[in-house]
Amino acid sequence: MQFAGSHIISVDQFERADIEAIFAVADRMEPYAHRRKITRVLDGAILGSMFFEPSTRTRVSFGCAFNLLGGHVRETTGFEHSAIAKGESLYDTARVISGYSDIITMRHPEPGSVTEFANASRVPVLNGGDGSNEHPSQALLDLYTIKLEMQGRGGGIDRIRIALIGDLRFGRTVHSLCKLLSLYRDIDVLLISPPELKMPGEIVATMREAGHSVTETENLAAHIGNVDIAYSTRLQEERFGSQEDADRYRGRFRLNHHFYTQHCDPNTVIMHPLPRDSRAVANELDNDLNDNPNLAIFRQADNGVLVRMALFAMVLEVVDQIDNDSRGVNWYTGSRFQKPAP
Ligand code: CP
């Protein structure tokens, strides 16, 4: 695809070569994201960050990624702090904010809303999650993490065995990830969810058309023993009609140290897009796994900065200039960034 000046709305925009191009640029971002070097390649540029749903990782890591490239960030969070609360349309908001910014990141609870916004925007818009629909930058960072974790084990993305666990109906991260996996070869996909929270049929069909083996089940213990990646998800309670509806599924699938040692291959990588719900009633991914070297969740979150830096650099067409005038950092940076388990 043509990255320069494009909106990034859906993973459907990508072919495998595009993913590989993004990952190659993400690799180049490592010294900057890991605070060994500074680049000012986006000096003077402004990111308009518009998050109308709660977010920690996506909002802050998009912002950090832009700052790490030398740009500035202007934020709106929540409808209540935006003129949308006074009845302003997405069209008008997009026309106005795109005059103030060089690029925009946006999260909104309605599927399709980011497309509507992008259609009115005068600058590129990157989708930070639109309802239960898509979360393309999360899928890219998930796949980038899978690549790095499997590389550490002598493998790649083709032929992986992956279990996706939990709310596969409303979980936008797994929707986007499955579509991206369809660009790769011979993947064993295990979809573990209650029947009411199954992966949408069209996404299952896309994976089967790609030649992948797809198994749908609600029996976690019986199937988890033979996977490379166990990808847990949170119940998307905000997408249910009522709290009571969501409560019926809360805590249905729990990964913890005991379960992992009983049922998983000891090399299984544990992933989760985060936030994990650590309340006792849910606790889909227990804190007692925090010291397991195969727990990749924080490496996954760190990788988000590299991938989002890559997207900004490609869409704003500065990849060739990243290393111009770069220099070392002045402050103590420590050694906070973990490598994948060997
Ligand atoms: N993974 C993810 O989208 O996290 P946030 O909701 O914190 O952005």
Expressed in percent and rounded to 5, the helix, strand and coil fractions of the chain are 40, 15, 40
With CA atoms as reference, report the closest residue to 50 among 139, 114, 141.
Answer: 114
- Give the span between the Cα atoms of 148 and 124, in whole angstroms: 29
User: What pairing do the DSSP bridges indicate for beta strands 161-165 and 269-271?
Assistant: unpaired
Burial grade of 330 (CB within 10 A; 0-12, 13-18, 19 or more): exposed
Check 7, 39, 57, 147 and give the catalytic one.
57
The CB of 138 under 6 Å from ligand 1? The reply is: yes
Phi, psi dihedrals of residue 278, rounded to the nearest 5°? -90, 5
Report whether pLDDT(335) > 90. no
What digits encode the pLDDT tens for the residues 199-227? 999 999 999 999 999 999 999 999 999 99
With CA atoms as reference, report the closest residue to 48 among 141, 116, 117.
Answer: 117
Q: What is the DSSP letter of 337?
A: P
Alpha carbon of 275 to ligand 1 centroid (Å): 6
CA dihedral 164, 168, 170, 176 (to 10 degrees): 50
User: What DSSP assignment string belongs to 65-133?
Assistant: HHHHTT-EEEEEESGGGSGGGGT--HHHHHHHHHHH-SEEEEEESSTTHHHHHHHH-SS-EEEEEETTT
86 catalytically annotated: yes
pLDDT of residue 182: 98
- Do 115 and 9 form a contact (C-beta atoms < 8 A)? yes
pLDDT of residue 337: 92
User: What DSSP assignment string belongs to 74-88?
Assistant: EEEESGGGSGGGGT-
Going by alpha carbons, the residue nearest to atom 3 of ligand 1 is 58
What digits encode the pLDDT tens for the residues 9-51? 999 999 999 999 999 999 999 999 999 999 999 999 999 999 9
Phi, psi dihedrals of residue 295, rounded to the nearest 5°? -75, 110
135 catalytically annotated: yes
The CB of 58 under 6 Å from ligand 1? The reply is: yes
pLDDT of residue 136: 96
The CB of 297 under 6 Å from ligand 1? The reply is: no
- Do 224 and 256 form a contact (C-beta atoms < 8 A)? no
The CB of 55 under 6 Å from ligand 1? The reply is: yes
pLDDT of residue 325: 85
The CB of 97 under 6 Å from ligand 1? The reply is: no
Report whether pLDDT(183) > 80. yes
With CA atoms as reference, report the closest residue to 94 among 69, 118, 58, 66.
Answer: 118
105 catalytically annotated: no
Cα–Cα separations (whole angstroms), residue 137 to 13, 45, 49, 61: 12, 20, 14, 11
User: What DSSP assignment string belongs to 192-241?
Assistant: E--GGGPPPHHHHHHHHHTT-EEEEES-HHHHGGG-SEEEE----GGGSS
- Assign 177 a pLDDT band (cuts: 50, 70, 90): very high
